[in-house]
Structure 1
Amino acid sequence: MFLTAANLAHYLLDSGLVDVADIVDGDFKVIEAGQNNRNFKVVVGNNRGKFLKQVQSFQDLHRSSIQREADCYRWAQGFPLWANLMPTLVRYDQSRYCLILELLSASENLREFYNKHREFPESIAGLLGDALSVYHSIKIDLDSTETNLPKLSNKVPWIFTYHKVSYFPANSLSGGAVQFGDVLRSLPTLQTHLERLFDIWRSSDLIHADIKWDNCLIQQVEHEQRLKIIDWELVQMGDVRWDVGSVFQSYLSFWVMCSYRDSSLSTQQLIDDTVANMPKMFASIRAFWNNYRSARNEGSTENDVCLKTCLEFAAVRMLQTAFESLYHCSEMSPHAYALLDLSQQVLRDPTQAAVDLFGLTEDV
């Protein structure tokens, strides 16, 4: 059974997750929050609720990703610091491929927070740096016979090789996404960078693999701010520099994407606006990087994470953001072109980009 706003109350009653009083007292609300899945926020009163995520279809790919996320939540319970970064798992209904989590009250994702306030507190950036260092530091024995160890892939993200092969059925892409691929295949220098970075990818550590501000929630608990990371569907063995780079690209792409619905802006205007506004983020970027590096003991050979490569991976992740922004576009948008241009700026000279675009003055 697929869940809908209409049948959700009945499902929750049958599952024992709410009772009749919760519904009839008038404090029961269902809010659709779907993107790639069927997502629902169920609010009961002011302080209780559930978040439900169900697959859109019963195709194998969707089944495996949500099953992996459920396994990840269970497995994380053996690592309290990591589990503390996640919402609480209530139940996984395998018959319906439905993940049920405790709803995080008084929370909003970082994109919403930064769009609203246009301030970038160092304290929040530091929390994010600490959070990544927690699960990046987990040591995993892939030969372990633990039954609760999820099946973790170790694939390099598709964007590194998209100039060679498309991983999407032709009829599933918008005209803008098709054009993006054509543009990518017309830039030999960019392709050389992608191939070089593909070759240095290392699948040695646990990574989230889809870090972005939408997947980072800031929660106010009394007088304390807490950070939670959600959407662990793509968790895998991979390169920690991809997650770190994904945070860096979230900063750089913010000024382009916050005006995404403004079709009057040219590509150059978007780039100029980004360059002019990035200094507002420099202290936040430094707080993120310094906290992450300190927590990971970056002075050691074992945990070495090179800033230069993190920034190069950020540039690659920005290409993926450009592609994703074109989902409903009939042609390449100025915003996608701006992201493409900024990505190439970073790849051409990551040392200069560290200073000019990210406010990081240390050697890279």
Structure 2
Amino acid sequence: MSSIGVSVPIDIDNAARELLRIGLLGPQAIIERNLTVVDVSRRNRNLRITQKDGPNFFLKQTMGRSQEDVLYIVREANFYRFVESLDGDSGISALFPRLEYINIADGLLITELVDNAETLGSYISGNSETIEEALFLLGEKLRLIYSSFEAVTSTHEDNNVRGLGRQLPWIMHVHEPSPEIMSTLSPSNHEVLRIIQGDGDLCMSIGHARTLWRPETIISSDMKLDNVLITRTPGGSHGVVFVDWELVQVGDACWDLSGIVQDLIIFWINSMQHMGDVASMISTNAFKLEQMQRWIRSLWTGYCSSADFPPGYGAAALTRLVHFTAVRLIQSAYERQHTAVSMSSAAVLALQVSKNMFANPEDAQVRLLGLYNWL
């Protein structure tokens, strides 16, 4: 469904009325007061709308109305239309929320709210016995969608994705910042940037990572634990749904994979007691390095379980995964300091881990990620 005009920002107070006007809710839902609206806003205005009986919705509305703001939701809506057109026997569309409504003029996007689901970030905090199973499944599904998208990427036949960008991630230029980036830096961002620019080897490593980039498929560009939903059926089996595709572009699948891997490394770093030297922090951490490695290995093994890899692909992909994870750790350190006055110990550790990975990628592959070969 497309726009009929909303004209006002949608919030907790007017959400039911506006969804009734749009046609996504019936009068009975309002009369019986069986509707719950929860504000989960971040960069956008986000609302979770649930009913006791009937479909549930996730509403995203841009805070601004600039061309760039609106482009994000248009891109995301077109992507969801694209995956619906691909479906056939592959079941691809079940891995994404269903598009319900878009109003371009008002910067409004509404999708289904996936039932019986939690983010992978929340899931790993309380499901230790089944995390490896969930990560293996995640790897399998990521390989399925990327291989399905590769053919379309090469032919440019689908109008919904024909105009997607192919740019390198902005963080790969962070050591050469634009005036726009410089104008929005926090004091802590300045400190991160000073450390990066003052380290010639680190700048060269980021530059080398750019040469590894292979724009072969459609990627999220923002793949992370909080953008993966783990679902459960009444029988107890798991499913995966991928959300938040407003940064979708043509790019390297290993960039998305590295987003998950770096989140797992950050989870490990954040679980440490940030006191004393690094060796003692690691040795006394209740969340052991070996446990993180098992999680990463499950993800990678699931990704490599597909039989459609061309010869030599896996080894090259693993090389890119290691380098891109190091870049993503820099991005994490930078972004998490956006409003900070001084650098956190976690950001300092993330930068140090990144530097160590770049210094010896083969060693990092084995000793940090726990990946001994590509299968």
TM over 0.5: yes
SS in 1 for 2:288: helix
SS in 2 for 1:78: helix
Cross-structure match for 1:209: 221
User: CA contact under 8 A between 2:152 and 2:158: conserved in structure 1?
Assistant: no
Cross-structure match for 1:236: 249
Specify which of 93, 116, 138 is matched with residue 103 of structure 2.
93
User: CA contact under 8 A between 2:153 and 2:217: conserved in structure 1?
Assistant: no
Check 1:48–1:267 CA distance in 2 against 1; reply closer, same or farther (3 A cut).
farther
Cross-structure match for 1:158: 170
Check 1:205–1:175 CA distance in 2 against 1; reply closer, same or farther (3 A cut).
same
Alignment of 1:61-76 (within 5 A): 61-76=68-83
Cross-structure match for 1:249: 262
Letter in 1 for 2:259: S
Asked whether 1:25 is paired with 2:32, we answer yes
Check 1:217–1:347 CA distance in 2 against 1; reply closer, same or farther (3 A cut).
same
Q: 53-62 vs 347-356, which deviates more?
A: 347-356
Specify which of 272, 290, 293 is matched with residue 282 of structure 1.
293
Letter in 2 for 1:12: L
Cross-structure match for 2:340: 329
**Superposition RMSD in Å:** 2.5
CA offsets 1:115-157 (integer angstroms, 9 cap, x no match):
2345562210111111211221121256645433352100000
**Which structure 2 segments of 5+ residues have no match?**
1-7
Determine the C-alpha separation between the residues in 2 that align with 1:168 and 1:92.
30
Count the aligned residue pairs: 361
Check 1:345–1:119 CA distance in 2 against 1; reply closer, same or farther (3 A cut).
farther
Per the TM alignment, residue 299 of structure 1 is displaced from its structure 2 partner at its CA by 5.0
Per the TM alignment, residue 190 of structure 1 is displaced from its structure 2 partner at its CA by 0.7
CA offsets 1:187-244 (integer angstroms, 9 cap, x no match):
1111110111112212222211111001000011212211001111111111122112
Q: 16-25 vs 36-45, which deviates more?
A: 16-25
| Identity among equivalent pairs (%) | 26
**Which structure 1 segments of 5+ residues have no match?**
none
Determine the C-alpha separation between the residues in 2 that align with 1:23 and 1:267.
58
Determine the C-alpha separation between the residues in 2 that align with 1:360 and 1:144.
35
Determine the C-alpha separation between the residues in 1 that align with 2:157 and 2:373.
43
Per the TM alignment, residue 104 of structure 1 is displaced from its structure 2 partner at its CA by 0.9
SS in 2 for 1:108: strand
Determine the C-alpha separation between the residues in 2 that align with 1:165 and 1:275.
38
Asked whether 1:338 is paired with 2:345, we answer no
User: CA contact under 8 A between 1:266 and 1:334: conserved in structure 2?
Assistant: no
Per the TM alignment, residue 309 of structure 1 is displaced from its structure 2 partner at its CA by 2.0
Per the TM alignment, residue 316 of structure 1 is displaced from its structure 2 partner at its CA by 0.5
Determine the C-alpha separation between the residues in 2 that align with 1:352 and 1:141.
34
SS in 2 for 1:77: helix
Letter in 2 for 1:295: S
Per the TM alignment, residue 107 of structure 1 is displaced from its structure 2 partner at its CA by 0.9
SS in 2 for 1:140: helix
Letter in 1 for 2:20: L
Per the TM alignment, residue 166 of structure 1 is displaced from its structure 2 partner at its CA by 3.7
SS in 1 for 2:56: strand
Check 1:335–1:302 CA distance in 2 against 1; reply closer, same or farther (3 A cut).
closer
Asked whether 1:221 is paired with 2:233, we answer yes
SS in 2 for 1:115: coil
Cross-structure match for 1:41: 48
Alignment of 1:260-339 (within 5 A): 265=275, 268=278, 277-295=288-306, 297-298=308-309, 300-301=311-312, 305-339=316-350
Determine the C-alpha separation between the residues in 2 that align with 1:175 and 1:306.
36
Per the TM alignment, residue 271 of structure 1 is displaced from its structure 2 partner at its CA by 5.6
Give TM-score scaled by structure 1 length: 0.91
Determine the C-alpha separation between the residues in 1 that align with 2:271 and 2:9.
33
SS in 2 for 1:337: helix
Per the TM alignment, residue 159 of structure 1 is displaced from its structure 2 partner at its CA by 0.8
Determine the C-alpha separation between the residues in 2 that align with 1:159 and 1:134.
27
Check 1:42–1:297 CA distance in 2 against 1; reply closer, same or farther (3 A cut).
same
SS in 1 for 2:305: helix
SS in 2 for 1:288: helix
SS in 1 for 2:96: coil
Letter in 1 for 2:63: Q
Check 1:266–1:101 CA distance in 2 against 1; reply closer, same or farther (3 A cut).
farther
Determine the C-alpha separation between the residues in 2 that align with 1:200 and 1:275.
35
CA offsets 1:254-298 (integer angstroms, 9 cap, x no match):
122457xx8x75783666667962211333322211121121633
